[in-house]
Amino acid sequence: MLRTSWMSAGAMVLTFLATTRLPLQQAITLGAFLSLLPYCAQAALQAKLVALVRADDGHGRTAEPPAALPPGEATVLDYADRRSSPSCPASRPGFPAPTGPAARC
Protein backbone atom coordinates (compact mmCIF):
# COMPACT_ATOMS: atom_id res chain seq x y z
CA MET A 1 0.00 0.00 0.00
CA LEU A 2 2.81 2.41 0.81
CA ARG A 3 4.37 1.96 -2.64
CA THR A 4 1.18 2.55 -4.60
CA SER A 5 -0.44 5.59 -2.98
CA TRP A 6 0.73 7.61 -0.01
CA MET A 7 -2.75 9.13 0.38
CA SER A 8 -4.38 5.70 0.62
CA ALA A 9 -1.69 4.54 3.03
CA GLY A 10 -2.26 7.63 5.18
CA ALA A 11 -6.01 7.00 5.21
CA MET A 12 -5.37 3.40 6.23
CA VAL A 13 -3.05 4.40 9.11
CA LEU A 14 -5.43 7.11 10.35
CA THR A 15 -8.35 4.69 10.21
CA PHE A 16 -6.38 2.12 12.19
CA LEU A 17 -5.41 4.71 14.81
CA ALA A 18 -9.02 5.87 15.00
CA THR A 19 -10.19 2.31 15.77
CA THR A 20 -7.89 2.25 18.79
CA ARG A 21 -9.04 5.62 20.18
CA LEU A 22 -12.64 6.21 19.01
CA PRO A 23 -15.86 4.22 19.22
CA LEU A 24 -16.04 1.76 16.33
CA GLN A 25 -18.92 3.46 14.46
CA GLN A 26 -17.05 6.79 14.50
CA ALA A 27 -13.81 5.14 13.33
CA ILE A 28 -15.65 3.43 10.45
CA THR A 29 -17.27 6.71 9.41
CA LEU A 30 -13.91 8.48 9.57
CA GLY A 31 -12.32 5.71 7.49
CA ALA A 32 -15.05 6.00 4.86
CA PHE A 33 -14.51 9.76 4.54
CA LEU A 34 -10.74 9.35 4.45
CA SER A 35 -11.03 6.78 1.66
CA LEU A 36 -12.84 9.38 -0.47
CA LEU A 37 -9.83 11.70 -0.47
CA PRO A 38 -7.57 9.58 -2.71
CA TYR A 39 -10.55 8.76 -4.95
CA CYS A 40 -11.42 12.44 -5.45
CA ALA A 41 -7.77 13.39 -6.03
CA GLN A 42 -7.37 10.73 -8.75
CA ALA A 43 -10.69 11.64 -10.36
CA ALA A 44 -9.68 15.31 -10.53
CA LEU A 45 -6.36 14.42 -12.16
CA GLN A 46 -7.97 12.18 -14.79
CA ALA A 47 -10.76 14.56 -15.81
CA LYS A 48 -10.27 16.56 -19.00
CA LEU A 49 -12.40 18.83 -21.17
CA VAL A 50 -12.31 17.90 -24.88
CA ALA A 51 -14.07 19.08 -28.03
CA LEU A 52 -15.70 16.57 -30.34
CA VAL A 53 -15.07 17.44 -33.99
CA ARG A 54 -15.84 15.76 -37.30
CA ALA A 55 -12.76 14.40 -39.07
CA ASP A 56 -12.27 14.51 -42.84
CA ASP A 57 -13.45 10.89 -43.15
CA GLY A 58 -16.77 11.75 -41.46
CA HIS A 59 -15.98 10.12 -38.15
CA GLY A 60 -15.72 12.00 -34.88
CA ARG A 61 -12.49 12.64 -33.00
CA THR A 62 -11.45 14.55 -29.92
CA ALA A 63 -9.48 17.79 -29.99
CA GLU A 64 -8.52 20.60 -27.67
CA PRO A 65 -11.52 22.79 -26.81
CA PRO A 66 -11.62 26.31 -28.26
CA ALA A 67 -10.73 29.25 -26.02
CA ALA A 68 -14.11 30.89 -26.78
CA LEU A 69 -17.32 29.61 -28.31
CA PRO A 70 -18.07 31.41 -31.59
CA PRO A 71 -21.64 32.70 -32.07
CA GLY A 72 -23.87 30.87 -34.52
CA GLU A 73 -21.73 27.75 -34.53
CA ALA A 74 -22.40 24.46 -32.75
CA THR A 75 -19.56 23.24 -30.56
CA VAL A 76 -19.75 19.85 -28.90
CA LEU A 77 -17.80 19.61 -25.64
CA ASP A 78 -17.29 16.54 -23.49
CA TYR A 79 -16.01 16.42 -19.95
CA ALA A 80 -14.02 13.19 -20.23
CA ASP A 81 -14.16 11.78 -16.72
CA ARG A 82 -14.35 8.04 -16.29
CA ARG A 83 -14.86 8.02 -12.54
CA SER A 84 -17.42 10.56 -11.40
CA SER A 85 -21.15 10.61 -11.94
CA PRO A 86 -22.72 13.13 -14.32
CA SER A 87 -23.44 16.58 -12.98
CA CYS A 88 -24.29 20.00 -14.29
CA PRO A 89 -21.75 20.87 -17.02
CA ALA A 90 -21.94 24.59 -16.21
CA SER A 91 -20.44 23.92 -12.79
CA ARG A 92 -17.33 22.27 -14.22
CA PRO A 93 -14.13 24.28 -14.60
CA GLY A 94 -12.42 24.72 -17.95
CA PHE A 95 -15.43 25.34 -20.17
CA PRO A 96 -14.81 28.17 -22.65
CA ALA A 97 -16.79 31.36 -22.36
CA PRO A 98 -19.51 31.93 -24.97
CA THR A 99 -19.24 34.97 -27.20
CA GLY A 100 -21.86 37.03 -29.05
CA PRO A 101 -25.42 38.03 -28.04
CA ALA A 102 -26.17 34.70 -26.31
CA ALA A 103 -23.25 35.24 -23.93
CA ARG A 104 -25.48 37.24 -21.58
CA CYS A 105 -27.56 34.21 -20.59
Better-scored residue on pLDDT, 15 or 105 = 15
Judged against a pLDDT cut of 90, whether residue 44 lies above it is answered with: no
Confidence of residue 70 (pLDDT cuts 50, 70, 90): confident
Contact in structure between 1 and 15 (CB atoms under 8 Å): no
- pLDDT value at residue 25: 94
Average pLDDT on 16-22 reads 93
Residues forming a β-bridge with 77: 51
The per-residue pLDDT for 90 is 47
Which has the higher per-residue pLDDT, 101 or 46? 46
HSE of 100 in the Cβ direction (CA atoms, 13 Å)? 8
Is the distance from CB of 11 to CB of 33 less than 8 angstroms? Answer: no
Is this structure's pTM higher than 0.85?
no
Residue 19 above 90 pLDDT? yes
